[in-house]
Amino acid sequence: MDIKTKELVNKGIMLPLMEEFYTIQGEGNHTGTAAYFIRVGGCDVGCHWCDVKESWDANLHPPTHADVIVENANKYAKTIVITGGEPLMWDMQYLTASLQNKGLQTHIETSGAYPLSGQWNWICLSPKKTKLPLEDIYEEAHELKMIIHNKSDFDFAEQQAAKVSKKCTLYLQPEWSKKEAMTPMIVDYVMKNPQWKISLQTHKYLNIP
């Protein structure tokens, strides 16, 4: 990467773009909503069950000007989901301000492990044990989405729920490879603890991206 590109990436004016696509948001609060997904490369959180490990190495994904990304997004939905990888490894201010200037809604899916940047209409925080969120994001999250891979994840979910604001919606979502074992446990848990809701990866059931 040349020095000028690196500078633009450091400022968030260019971003390592892994993929972008128009689909249906499959998970969490906005399940069922048509949305344009922008998947930014780079993640060092290291979830062993991660289903987008190709995203981890940012160097594999071409630095792309945010103006081009915004132009593409603006042809499709009003809801734009920025995901990764871990998008907060990059400065999200330029991209999100540009999207909002076009009247688009900015949503993020983040582990919270890096400082919060950008202007967001919706923050989905999905904490991971391997690299915990920074403190500031808990208060800002609209949605807490906890992935349940084994029984001990229920305790971790409660620890994280104790840190978010009262208005934050709480979701438990079975990790896809363990869904047969974990979904019945989540159903039982939510019935006993109705402050939680179930989130399913409906896009995987629908066989869409």
Residues in contact with ligand SF4 by the rule CB under 6 A: 43, 45-47, 50, 52, 55, 84-86, 111, 128
Give just the sign of the alpha carbon dihedral 156, 126, 199, 206.
negative
Using an 8 Å Cβ cutoff, are 124 and 141 in contact?
A: yes
Closest to ligand SF4 by CB, 65 vs 129, is: 129
Closest to ligand SF4 by CB, 80 vs 89, is: 89
**Smallest distance, Å, CB 73 to ligand SF4?**
20
Closest to ligand SF4 by CB, 87 vs 118, is: 87
**Smallest distance, Å, CB 74 to ligand SF4?**
26
**Secondary structure (DSSP) of 146-187:** EEESSTHHHHHHHHHHTTS-TT-EEEEEE-GGGHHHHHHHHH
Closest to ligand SF4 by CB, 94 vs 114, is: 114
**Smallest distance, Å, CB 127 to ligand SF4?**
9
Helix (H, G, I), strand (E, B) or coil at 64: strand
Closest to ligand SF4 by CB, 53 vs 151, is: 53
**Smallest distance, Å, CB 130 to ligand SF4?**
8
Strand partners, 79: 105
Distance, in Å, from the CA atom of 145 to the CA atom of 103, rounded to the nearest integer, reads 26
**Smallest distance, Å, CB 19 to ligand SF4?**
13
**Smallest distance, Å, CB 86 to ligand SF4?**
5
Q: Of 184, 187, 186, 133, nearest to 161 (Cα)?
A: 133
Q: Other C-beta atoms within 10 Å of 95: how many?
A: 29
Helix (H, G, I), strand (E, B) or coil at 12: coil
**DSSP 8-state code for residue 145:** E
* Token representation of residue 165: 């604001």
